Structure 1
Amino acid sequence: MLAHAQNLAQDLAPGFADAALESQAVFRACMNALARPARPVPFQTGLVPPAPLTPELAALALALADHEAALWLDASLRTPAVRAFLTFHTGARLTEDPAQAAFALIADAAACPDLAGFAQGSDEYPDRSTTLVIAVDRLEAGEDLVFTGPGIKAETGQERVGLTLAPLPSGFRRQLAVNHAAFPRGVDLIFTAPGRLAGLPRSSLIRGEA
């Protein structure tokens, strides 16, 4: 077992070259995306993490997770190489219970668990909820999902903004509507694709949902 751990350490992919500077840049990009809901923004990173962890998922994990923030991984990410990379570079405790996670990394978006299964926070402490970071293949402006809410009109002058995301799990529109209805409880979401990301806070209301 010790030899196996040593081999993993030797083969470990590097993290940020300048941890403080790069973490701050990623954190700012994340906060800007959540403040401007459903708008794709450029997001570049030089990380080369072990597959199937994408560079964008890795960068956000390294910037957001730490020893005080439990991290949940979807089934596709529960490999020894991914676990070693994340625990070494973030110090985060990995949890198998989504309801205990401060952050969740999801590489297989089509198999994303129901949003209601993650930590929802409370009316008194809405920040005690999970932020989901989800990798998708397609992330661009579009009309597949249309949102209104805080931060949308202020940025564009328009009452609504559209976003195309794929793949997504079945019933995801309903889940987003339920998540918004629980405000101030509920989860926040960050979607990533190669070279870009978009934020979707719980305050954003999906339109056209019965």
Structure 2
Amino acid sequence: MSMNAQALAGGFSDPVFDSQAVFRLLMDGMSRPGTIQTVGIDVEQPLPLGRAAGAVALALCDADTPVWLQSAMAKSGAPQWIAFHTGAPVVQEKSDARFAFMQSPAGICSFGLFALGTQEYPDRSTTLVIEVASLVDGQPLTLSGPGIRDKVTVKVTGLPEVFLSIWNDNRALFPRGADVILTAGDALLCLPRTTRIAAGETACM
């Protein structure tokens, strides 16, 4: 399939219903950090976008939300696909983006070049959608904070070793800072900027 044909393919078969369904998954994920949500809608997204990442783009992006894509995604059919199905402009500067789509661990060294909001308008920040290898095994991380009863442990394969340091720097900016959506194929896990993350598993009580 040519890149032009790929850009026209897929998307939501029922844009209103499917968009609302994915939006509910994201709202539930943001309100309950650490819970894994599964996207059951096949959106026929171009690789290297995963199904969940593609669905996030379709549900959240529009003409008023500039999108930045990491190099491998920018060189694929993803920019054209997102632009065609959502109307979102693809930008070159990270600081101009409302949404950024990335593959971990390549290129994740800091969130500082993205928009992190202001004290008056903390919502004017970039949401990072990061594709990882797995959300069911790998490095154990303990999450705590708003929306989490006590603590919860998640396991992620594919985050760089510096991620915890990056996250702590990001969280220290609150109410500014970036929110993160981790995706792995059809699964997603939300990390709002209020979430505390520590290495290792929760101790059994």
The TM-score normalised by the length of structure 2 is 0.89
Aligned amino acid, residue 109 of structure 1 = S
How far is the alpha carbon of 1:48 from its aligned partner?
Answer: 1.4
CA contact (8 A) 1:140 1:164 kept: yes
Alignment of 1:157-176 (within 5 A): 159-176=150-167
How far is the alpha carbon of 1:142 from its aligned partner?
Answer: 7.7
Match of 2:189 in 1: 198
CA contact (8 A) 1:119 1:130 kept: yes
Q: Give the SS at the match of 2:142.
A: strand
Equivalent residue for 1:109, pick from 104, 118, 123: 104
CA contact (8 A) 1:44 1:196 kept: no
How far is the alpha carbon of 1:170 from its aligned partner?
Answer: 3.3
Match of 2:121 in 1: 125
Structure with bigger helix share is: 1
Match of 1:52 in 2: 48
Q: Give the SS at the match of 1:120.
A: coil
Counterpart-to-counterpart distance in 2, 1:142 and 1:10: 37
- Matched positions, count: 197
| Mapped pair 1:95 → 2:88 | no
Give every structure 1 segment of 4 or more consecutive aligned residues whose post-TM-superposition deviation is greater than 3 Å.
7-11
CA contact (8 A) 1:56 1:192 kept: yes
Q: Which segments of 5 or more consecutive residues in structure 1 lack a partner in the other structure?
A: 1-6, 154-158
How far is the alpha carbon of 1:79 from its aligned partner?
Answer: 2.4
Q: Give the SS at the match of 1:31.
A: helix
The TM-score normalised by the length of structure 1 is 0.87
How far is the alpha carbon of 1:80 from its aligned partner?
Answer: 5.3
How far is the alpha carbon of 1:143 from its aligned partner?
Answer: 6.8
Counterpart-to-counterpart distance in 1, 2:135 and 2:75: 26
How far is the alpha carbon of 1:81 from its aligned partner?
Answer: 2.0
Counterpart-to-counterpart distance in 2, 1:77 and 1:69: 18
Question: What percent identity do the matched residue pairs reach?
Answer: 38
How far is the alpha carbon of 1:198 from its aligned partner?
Answer: 0.8
